[in-house]
Amino acid sequence: MIIKGENNINSSVVYSVGFKTNLDQINSNKFYYTDHFKDINLDNFDLLVIKCLDSMIVPKYNKFIFYVPNMGGYDSVFILKILLKYNEINGETYLIEPFYRDNRMLKLTLRNKNNLKVKIMLVDSYNLLSNSLDKLAKDLDVDTLKGIFPYLFPNLFNLDYVGPMPEISYYNSNVTTKLYDSLYQEKWSLRDETLKYLDKDLSALLEILNEFQDDLFINHNLELTSSLTISNLALTKFLKYYLNESKLPLITKSSIYEFCANAYYGGRTEVFNPYGENFNFLDVNSLYPFAALNPMPGTECIWLESYNDKGLNLDQLFGFFYAEVVTNNQYFGLLPLQTKEGLIFPRCAR
């Protein structure tokens, strides 16, 4: 729910939250603000999230992985802020272990200091199934489809609203007049409709994940919980079924990876002469897969730390080398060099 804060700046609070697991197939675990708090207090909206998390960090759900749609891009902001604020006020009650990649949270491991044997993990489902809940439900043909909801209607003072259904302007633009009219109610409850909408979201996501897990296990012999991203699932399958006796090297040491990675950056792409006639334009498709069919270095790694004064015979070398290069000092520098300011092409003597 969006509210007006200090200096007329919009902020958001959570007034309803919940979760559902395969142990709770019939009922979702849902929390609504006015079911727990009678007075409007912004701190209580944070406590609603705490109540939900406390009901998850229990022996029944020990080592459970809870998938949260778009957690890394949205929900993680609420969860982390609320937990850190609670720890600051009440002492370090929750042990928080976030895991990031590219400034996006992939996983959040939580424990309560009162029962350190119990831990849960919150994982961003968007990194595995990167589409809207509505489209995923339709694509995977699950039983529960996402409903519609007047996102712009709830505010701090109408959480117990019962009356005519909110006007169509409070709904997303994809809600047509025909659909709105077919669902119209004279006695419409914000609480009941919120919990109904939340339950549909939770049920749809659980069905989507179960369907995806079944497909992974039956057709690919993979476990959904073994990876945090769809790319890692693909890599796991490649290594398991397709690498076989291939000589494709696997870099397993960070020092070797960092050494090789220093050689990977782009080359010249600038246009130096913006005018020309009778040009032939060439485009290459699938150049990377084609190059990958050729021999690749790395099956056996050795370090060359010294050599004679005649230098190395480049025709006999194949692999990654740290080298000092003497240029011909022509107008254009052709060899790239990575600096803190970006890529440069020096034409100096060395």
Nearest 5°: CA angle at 191, between 54 and 163? 170
Question: H-type helices in the chain, by residue range?
Answer: 33-36, 42-56, 76-90, 133-139, 177-183, 190-220, 230-237, 254-261, 287-292
Specify the pLDDT at position 60: 94
Is the pTM for the entire model greater than 0.85?
no
Residue in 120, 108, 100, 99 with CA at minimum distance from that of residue 78: 108
Distance CA 61, CA 59 (A): 5
Residue type, 83: L
Mean pLDDT, each 10-residue run in order, the chain (350 residues): 52 89 84 93 92 95 94 82 93 92 89 92 93 90 89 91 95 92 94 94 94 94 92 88 72 82 74 79 82 72 68 77 75 77 71
pLDDT, residue 3, reads: 53
**Looking up tokens 């005519």, which residue turns up?**
164
Dihedrals phi, psi of 124, to nearest 5 degrees: -75, 110
* pLDDT for 246: 67
Show Cβ contacts of residue 305 under 8 Å, excluding neighbours closer than 6 positions. Answer: none
Q: Which of 25, 24, 49, 26 is nearest to 36 (CA)?
A: 49
pLDDT score recorded for residue 10 = 61
Q: Residue ranges of the alpha helices (H) in 140-229?
A: 177-183, 190-220
For the chain, which residues make up each domain, given as ranges? 2-220, 247-276+285-350
pLDDT of residue 36: 95
HSE, CB side, 13 Å, CA atoms: give it for residue 280.
Answer: 1
Return the CATH architecture of domain 2-220: 2-Layer Sandwich (3.30)
Phi and psi torsions of 80, nearest 5°: -65, -45
The predicted pLDDT at position 350 comes to 47
**Residue 12 near residue 3, CB atoms below 8 Å:** yes
Nearest Cα neighbor of 318 from 335, 299, 333, 291 is 299
Nearest to 106 by CA among 133, 83, 126: 126
| 8 A C-beta contact, residue 47 and residue 78 | no
